[in-house]
């Protein structure tokens, strides 16, 4: 599903005549199979977000290759990535990243608007999705009028609305209380089992790592361990 092939990434900081290389990921080889939940763990600064940003096309690797669903996406231009993301990838973030001036309904609808789906069809799809995440009664609420758990459900609904085969999540439970976290993790497991959605989840949280089939550990930009959880 996702193949990371000898991938390295450096950032360059400082002025032109004094540019310094900051190596962040080194020689990462990794394969994520369809239907897996993979957690990515490691200390702050170990390169987890950079790896996810590379898998999302927001940054280009300095070296190596990236394949998603069999396609070599390493050299994709931004417009190709935008289309590819709209079709194949959903995103969940710790900070939800909802648009504050849009209602729950409008936030969930947005990816469909961007995809050019007709209004009538959009309404049907968003109504079903609101129901699925238990927010039918909150459709007109703005993010500021929702609890953290409800906001995260809106962001999950927005990620799911285009039916992506892969969801990339960056600390999705980081802003949630224990109970809401459990709800989200149950929902992720359900989506994984029933719809075979592949999840890659960056986390500091042991509970999240526990629902994963595999845990990938980064240390100083290197892949330290790729642990399969037996029996999952």
Handedness of CA 204, 210, 212, 218 (dihedral sign): positive
Write down the least CB distance from residue 43 to ligand ATP, Å.
7
Write down the least CB distance from residue 65 to ligand ATP, Å.
19
3-state percent breakdown (helix, strand, coil) of the chain, nearest 5: 40, 30, 30
Backbone angles phi, psi at 41, to 5 degrees: -120, 165
Write down the least CB distance from residue 13 to ligand ATP, Å.
5
User: How deeply is 9 buried, as exposed, middle or buried, from its count of CB atoms within 10 A (0-12, 13-18, 19+)?
Assistant: buried
Distance of CA 42 to the CA centre of its chain: 17
Among 44, 108, 96, 91, which Cα is nearest to 199's?
91
Write down the least CB distance from residue 42 to ligand ATP, Å.
5
Write down the least CB distance from residue 174 to ligand ATP, Å.
10
In the complex, the residues that contact ligand ATP under the rule CB under 6 A are: 11, 13, 22, 24, 42, 44-50
Indicate the residue among 47 and 61 with the shorter CB distance to ligand ATP. Answer: 47
Backbone angles phi, psi at 25, to 5 degrees: -125, 140
149 close to 185: Cβ distance less than 8 angstroms: no
40 close to 213: Cβ distance less than 8 angstroms: no
Indicate the residue among 36 and 205 with the shorter CB distance to ligand ATP. Answer: 205
Indicate the residue among 150 and 215 with the shorter CB distance to ligand ATP. Answer: 215
Write down the least CB distance from residue 173 to ligand ATP, Å.
14
Backbone angles phi, psi at 38, to 5 degrees: -115, 125
């Amino acid at each position: 599903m996702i193949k990371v092939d000898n991938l390295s990434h450096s950032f360059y900081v400082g002025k032109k005549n004094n540019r310094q290389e900051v190596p962040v990921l080194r020689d990462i080889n990794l394969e994520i199979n369809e239907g897996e939940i993979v957690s990515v763990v490691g200390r702050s600064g170990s390169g987890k977000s950079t790896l996810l940003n590379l898998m999302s096309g927001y940054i280009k690797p300095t070296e190596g290759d990236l394949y998603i669903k069999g396609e070599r996406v390493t050299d994709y231009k931004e417009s190709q990535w935008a289309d590819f993301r709209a079709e194949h990838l959903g995103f969940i973030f710790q900070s939800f990243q909802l648009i504050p001036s849009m209602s729950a309904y409008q936030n969930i609808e947005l990816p469909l608007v961007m995809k050019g789906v007709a209004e009538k069809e959009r309404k049907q799809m968003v109504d079903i999705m609101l129901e699925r995440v238990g927010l039918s009664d909150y459709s007109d609420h703005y993010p500021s009028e929702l609890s953290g758990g409800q906001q995260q459900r809106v962001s999950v609904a927005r990620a799911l609305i285009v039916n992506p085969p892969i969801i990339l999540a960056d600390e999705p439970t980081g802003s949630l209380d224990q109970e809401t976290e459990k709800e989200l993790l149950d929902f992720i497991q359900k989506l994984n089992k029933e719809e075979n959605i592949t999840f890659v989840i960056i986390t500091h949280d042991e509970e999240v790592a526990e629902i994963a089939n595999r845990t990938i550990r980064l240390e100083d930009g290197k892949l330290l361990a790729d642990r399969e959880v037996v029996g999952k």
